[in-house]
Structure 1
Amino acid sequence: MTVIDKFFILFIDLIIMIFSILLVGIYSGLLDLSYLTNLVQGYSQGIEGIVVGVVLFLISVRVLQLFFRRKKVKQTVITTNQLGNINITLEAINDLVQDIVRKETSVKDVNSRIKVREDGVHIYLNLIVGIKSSIPELSERIQKLLKVKVTESTGVDISKVEIMIKEINKEARMRVE
């Protein structure tokens, strides 16, 4: 949803709020209906009313479009075989990556992003690892493992695996009392 769409929704919401307050005021007797009719009749043949009406109509049409449009398909990676194309969402690849990385005993937590570039698919990992892990060995093992397993499972060429060690987590020590 764009900024203009959000503005339209806000504008329509404000108009509905004003009309609801007017309705409550009129039906509760707090507002005098004759005052409002005189106010509206003063502008009964002005161009301003037509412009406001057309603008409100166009905004309402746009708001209806927002509610009835189809959701975009998330970005996919396409592989081709003899029988046709295979579409794999980046979310599916991301889930696979996280499952593979979480099986590593030294990894305490993982966040990942997948991006499609001209030279292939790039995987970006943010890891929290245990204090006892050898970060260079762990990183190299994860990079190789992801390249092999993701390519094997999806047929997608993994060209880059970048790893950021976000935190080295101290393992909880048990206290004996």
Structure 2
Amino acid sequence: MAKILDRLLLFVYSLSIGILSVIAILLLTDAVPLDLNVIREKNLYIAAWVVAVVMFLLSIRFFYISVKRERGSLPSIDQRTEYGDIQISVDTIENLSYKAATRVRGIKEVKTRIRITEAGLEIVVRALVDGETSIPALTEEVQKQVHDHVEEITGIPVSYVSVYIANLVHSPAVKSRVE
């Protein structure tokens, strides 16, 4: 909603500045007869022309920005096949990484980040673990699962998977009641 309001305000602003600068240009060219004795000084006259033209050009630019459509500018990975182009968003790959990492037993909370390099994707997985599974075995399993799942689903080579174990999740202890 805020973007729509901002665009509307920019549209109104650019339109009003454009109209005022056109009026100033018409007055300076004597297209509209008006006695402007104050502006007959040459330096002031040139400055008024420059300001009017610059304001008109700025109003055109602002008008264009206010009415142009936004294209999805989310980062993506582009691939070309014999049938055409494929674009996969970075968010999609992050979600695939998340899905693969959460399938590993012992992983509780996951955040993923993707970096695109020449060698392929670099994936960073930040996880919380339950503390009951060997961390080296757990991280190796996460790396393997994320690497294989992302490559299999997207067809994009994964060059590196880094796993950062942030902390342990303390699960509430269930007390059994003996009667």
TM-score category (smaller protein)? 0.5 to 0.7
Which residue of 2 is the match for residue 58 of structure 1?
A: 57
Which residue of 2 is the match for residue 127 of structure 1?
A: 127
Deviates more, 1:84-93 or 1:134-143: 84-93
Residues 104 and 141 in structure 2, CA contact (< 8 A), matched pair in contact too: no
Which residue of 2 is the match for residue 113 of structure 1?
A: 113
Residues 43 and 49 in structure 1, CA contact (< 8 A), matched pair in contact too: no
TM-aligned CA distance change 1:42 to 1:125, over 3 Å: farther
SS in 2 for 1:156: coil
Q: C-alpha deviations, 1:131-172, integer Å up to 9, x for none?
A: 223211111001111111111111111110011112222222
Determine the C-alpha separation between the residues in 2 that align with 1:42 and 1:69. Answer: 45
Cα deviation for residue 123 of structure 1 reads 0.6
Which residue of 1 is the match for residue 97 of structure 2?
A: 97
Deviates more, 1:84-93 or 1:111-120: 84-93
Cα deviation for residue 73 of structure 1 reads 4.3
Determine the C-alpha separation between the residues in 2 that align with 1:71 and 1:164. Answer: 35
* Alignment coverage as a number of residue pairs: 142
TM-aligned CA distance change 1:79 to 1:51, over 3 Å: closer
Residues 75 and 89 in structure 2, CA contact (< 8 A), matched pair in contact too: yes
SS in 1 for 2:99: helix
Determine the C-alpha separation between the residues in 2 that align with 1:169 and 1:59. Answer: 55
Identical residues among aligned pairs (%): 26
SS in 2 for 1:123: strand
Which residue of 2 is the match for residue 148 of structure 1?
A: 148
TM-aligned CA distance change 1:175 to 1:43, over 3 Å: farther
Q: C-alpha deviations, 1:104-131, integer Å up to 9, x for none?
A: 3422221111111111111111112222
SS in 2 for 1:112: strand
Residues 96 and 149 in structure 2, CA contact (< 8 A), matched pair in contact too: no
Determine the C-alpha separation between the residues in 1 that align with 2:176 and 2:64. Answer: 64
Determine the C-alpha separation between the residues in 1 that align with 2:171 and 2:94. Answer: 27
TM-score by length of 1: 0.64
5+ long unaligned stretches in structure 1 = 1-8, 20-40
The alignment yields a C-alpha RMSD, in angstroms, of 3.1
Q: Which amino acid aligns with 2:119?
A: D
SS in 2 for 1:125: strand
Residues 111 and 125 in structure 1, CA contact (< 8 A), matched pair in contact too: yes
Determine the C-alpha separation between the residues in 2 that align with 1:112 and 1:144. Answer: 15
Cα deviation for residue 82 of structure 1 reads 4.5
TM-score by length of 2: 0.64
SS in 1 for 2:173: coil
TM-aligned CA distance change 1:106 to 1:65, over 3 Å: farther
SS in 2 for 1:152: helix
TM-aligned CA distance change 1:159 to 1:52, over 3 Å: same
Q: C-alpha deviations, 1:18-65, integer Å up to 9, x for none?
A: x9xxxxxxxxxxxxxxxxxxxxx6855533333332232233233233
